[in-house]
Structure 1
Amino acid sequence: MAIHTLYPAERGNLRLSFEYFPPKTDEMEAQLFQTAADLCAFDPHFVTMTYGAGGSTKARSLTAVRRMIHEMGVANTAAHLTCVGATKVEVDAIVTEFIDSGVRHFVALRGDPQGGIGACYEPFPGGYESSAALVAAIRARGDFEISVSAYPEKHPESRDVDADIDMLKRKVDSGATRALTQFFFDNDDFERYLERVRRAGIAIPVVPGILPINNLAQVRKFAGLCGASVPDAIIARLAHLDESPQERLKEATHIAAEQIVDLARRGLRDFHIYTMNRSPLVAGVLDLVGFERRAPASAQRSAGAAA
């Protein structure tokens, strides 16, 4: 098994961000905010909250973002936005709601076609035709952080990687400040992609998206829909552990930790973790890598008083 722990000097300037999705039920809401509380111990640089196609989770996203900022104290909570299923006027109104709620960081996405992943995408009548147009509209509103998507294995609808990178450049030229990648598992794929991005003159940070594997079957299915791949070597490490949940968790922890360590040793400093609103596996991965946990506020106050 590969070495999967970083030395203190290696992890000193690494930064984390976490992606969450808005809850659909009271039980899921409790899980989301418990997960956020657990992972706040790792002092994320920012967190993001997803947004359903056509605004299907608009109210829940807005509520979750407000609570993350004002109750959890995560000031740099980024709100996802899409172009799907809404006019420019409607999207602009949503941007205003987020800004009024304290949002200063957006993740601007085209969004999946209204017919679902795999359907043909058509711009909504009167809406923003692309993520680049959405980025430009947000940029016109002020000096916000604007993250966009990137695809180390190519977006499934793109003609080829060059077309994909050209779209990324359009988003950067429109005002994007960071790219967050689709999850991937082969670091060589990411490194080749990053080299092509830099040769295209794109200088913004390209942050690798890391997905710890809670459920192999679900991840393989989703990967097939979004143009990602799961290497045979990873499948071989997990497929036989379906009836051994503790061993599966341990192996999945090692797989993600190894990926982060290898990327860090290739010079990457930022990592965006897809949490799936669950903390045990993510926390286990970060502990294994060697990220330090920040003491809870109550513990910090007690230490200060003792001093």
Structure 2
Amino acid sequence: MSAQYVELLNQSLAEFPSDVNVSFEFFPPNSEQMVTTLWNSIERLKGLSPKFVSVTYGTNASTRDRTHRVIQDIVEKTDLTAVPHLTCIDTSIDEINEIADNYWNLGIRHILALRGDLPKGAPNPDIYADHLVETLKKRHDFDISVAAYPEVHPDAKNGQADLLHLRRKVDAGANLAISQFFFDIEAFLRFRDRCVAVGIEAEIVPGILPVSNYESLVKFAGPLNVKIPSWLHKRYEGLENDPETRNLVGASIAIDMVRVLRKEGIKDFHFYTLNRSELTYAICHTLGLRPTINTK
């Protein structure tokens, strides 16, 4: 191995950030097997001292109940800061206030407020995420995160309208925005600059999705208006029946994204774990995060 190669390798390794903060998203399980998978992931990732862990919230009552149970278990069984997602689709103001009271009494002080997915064929709702933020802030002094869309929300009229809606959410009381996952780093950085230009002062945290299955990604990225770059397709080409290599590729892409974004001054990153810890843990380890002792 030449001295020049060793020097380049050491320089590359030295470029990895060592001061990043992370948070993780999970979803409520719908089977006993998935319960085990979820808690194995929580146990593995909690040692990395995330700023918080969030739990998604569905549009039907059974999914919502599962979210509440997972949040309560996280509060009671771990020292993690639990952040429940809360949507306002098909939910009255009275119901929202009741949920907010229950969470506040449980010790929850941070909520991720979302409009929620519209059922197919449903008319436009009477309440949007900015109204939800305002309702929650009036009820209790929560920290509130909201969603941001670097490549524009699929229901938005255009990018400017989407940006102004984010501004309304922040003006209503949100103090953090977590982005939809993306792969076009330039698109995210342009979005961040546009947020500053319209007076959005809340921190914009990039959402990172470690990809283990490219075909599944393509299926759900389209409806979310997430662009799949041609280079990403080439990275996964020929790996349809090779999950181990797909995982290595997915980890490499996420690590490169975080490294570039860190150079742009970003320190906080939100990982969409899909309830699997392996890829996210490997990425965080490479980025310099190490387990801490947790007695609970």
The AA in structure 1 aligned to 2:79 is: G
What is the count of residue pairs matched by the alignment? 287
Alpha-carbon deviations, 1:267-287, whole Å to 9, x = none?
101100000000011111112
- Over 3 Å counting, the alpha-carbon distance change for 1:6 and 1:252 in structure 2 is farther
TM-score (norm 1): 0.89
- 238-247 or 220-229, which deviates more: 238-247
Runs of 4+ aligned residues of structure 1 deviating over 3 Å after TM superposition are 2-8, 295-298
Alpha-carbon deviations, 1:253-304, whole Å to 9, x = none?
1011111111111110110000000001111111222222224549xxxxxx
The AA in structure 2 aligned to 1:154 is: V
Q: Superposed, which structure 2 residues align to 1:27-176 within 5 Å?
A: 27-74=33-80, 76-115=81-120, 119=121, 121-123=123-125, 129-176=127-174
Q: Quick one: distance in 2 between partners of 1:213 and 1:235?
A: 12
Contact kept in structure 2, 1:85 and 1:114, CA below 8 Å: no
Q: Superposed, which structure 2 residues align to 1:1-307 within 5 Å?
A: 5=13, 7=15, 10-12=17-19, 14-74=20-80, 76-115=81-120, 119=121, 121-123=123-125, 129-295=127-293, 297=295
Contact kept in structure 1, 2:100 and 2:139, CA below 8 Å: no
2:3 maps to what in 1?
none
C-alpha RMSD over aligned residues = 1.8
Unaligned 5+ runs, structure 1: 299-307
Tell me how far 1:205 sits from its aligned partner.
0.4
Unaligned 5+ runs, structure 2: 1-8
Contact kept in structure 1, 2:212 and 2:243, CA below 8 Å: no
Contact kept in structure 1, 2:104 and 2:140, CA below 8 Å: no
Q: Quick one: distance in 2 between partners of 1:120 and 1:102?
A: 35
Contact kept in structure 2, 1:150 and 1:168, CA below 8 Å: yes
Tell me how far 1:27 sits from its aligned partner.
1.3
Contact kept in structure 2, 1:135 and 1:175, CA below 8 Å: yes
- Percent identical residues: 34
The AA in structure 2 aligned to 1:148 is: V
Tell me how far 1:249 sits from its aligned partner.
1.2
Alpha-carbon deviations, 1:95-142, whole Å to 9, x = none?
222222221110000000022xxx55522xxxx611000000110122
Q: Quick one: distance in 2 between partners of 1:48 and 1:143?
A: 18
Contact kept in structure 2, 1:35 and 1:277, CA below 8 Å: yes
